Amino acid sequence: MSLTVLTLNVWHDSGPWPTRRARIREWIERLDPDLIGFQEVLRGEGLDQLAELVDGLDRHCDYVAAQPSWRGEPLAFGNAVASRWPIAERETLALPESGDGERRAALSVTVDAPVGPVSFTCTHLNWKFHHGPVRERQVHALAELVLRRRPREGFPPILAGDMNAEPDSDEMRFLAGLHSIDGAGVYLHDAWRVAGPPGDPGFTWSNRNPHARANLEPDRRIDYVFSGYPRRDGVGLLEECRVVCNDEKDGVWPSDHFGVFAGLRTEPVEGALAWR
């Protein structure tokens, strides 16, 4: 059995939101993930995208606002979590800023899952191509949050979101244990590196999608699921990872981003090196 995770940047209410919402719902119902992380969610007077996306699905939800909506309306722009199981604890974190008014946040929850407490963090990093230095500070802060909140000897922590950085960037290499920042290091499994289809670049920003193509940006992988090292008995081992929410129907695409879906093992692996 697997614990399954979906992350998707929903592109706030741009484009044909009502029909896009229906497409996203189709994917959620098809995948039936245990944990969902949404980014760019608008919530406030007159609009609650989180409620619309999970209405009737019996999910436990939480939300963190990163900044007010740019339209000057009483709406917040932020990240959301939807869990199959009750949320026992939560913590929010305002991420380091670049000084240009763009603000980002992280929402970290602990859910009471059948496998035991699971720490799940959803985030969204600065988007500009030259914002590598602020993203480095953001991932440094995120790593501290994720590791501090992980259940001791329990299920490995999970971090998901729109990182706005490619796998070979310093900030993503830091999370994957391939680079240090200010003398600090961390190691999380990049689900795509571990369990993605061999030879597939895993692009989540793709010019196949007209919503993305209009921005004149190159194809790249910028949306991720990370997890801590599996338990000694193999619980938490990444078993699958794939790009989802990546099709059109009657001319409607779910979002400008594609999503990422990952599955982590919930049962011990026979013959695992428990002494390691």
69-73, 95-99, 130-134 — which is least confidently predicted? 69-73
Q: Are strands 75-83 and 35-44 parallel, antiparallel or unpaired?
A: antiparallel
Give φ, ψ of 156 to 5 degrees.
-65, 145
Please report the pLDDT score of residue 276 as a whole number: 46
Residue with tokens 């380091």: 96
Q: What angle do CA 13, 10, 121 make, to 5 degrees?
A: 135
Please report the pLDDT score of residue 274 as a whole number: 56
Going from N- to C-terminal start, the domains of the chain cover 2-265
Please report the pLDDT score of residue 53 as a whole number: 98
Residue with tokens 């830091």: 174
Give, rounded to a whole angstrom, the gap between the first and last alpha carbons of the chain. 23
- Calpha distance 217→209 (Å, rounded): 12
Into which CATH architecture does domain 2-265 fall?
4-Layer Sandwich (3.60)
Query: Over the stretch 38-60, which tens digit does the pLDDT of each residue have?
Result: 999 999 988 999 999 999 999 99
Overall average pLDDT of the 153-160 stretch: 94
Strand partners, 175: none
Residues whose CB is less than 8 angstroms from the CB of residue 17 and which lie 6 or more positions away in sequence, other chains included: none
- Using alpha carbons only, how large is the chain's radius of gyration in Å? 18
- Calpha distance 255→75 (Å, rounded): 20
Query: Over the stretch 180-234, which tens digit does the pLDDT of each residue have?
Result: 999 999 999 999 999 999 999 999 999 999 999 999 999 999 999 999 999 999 9
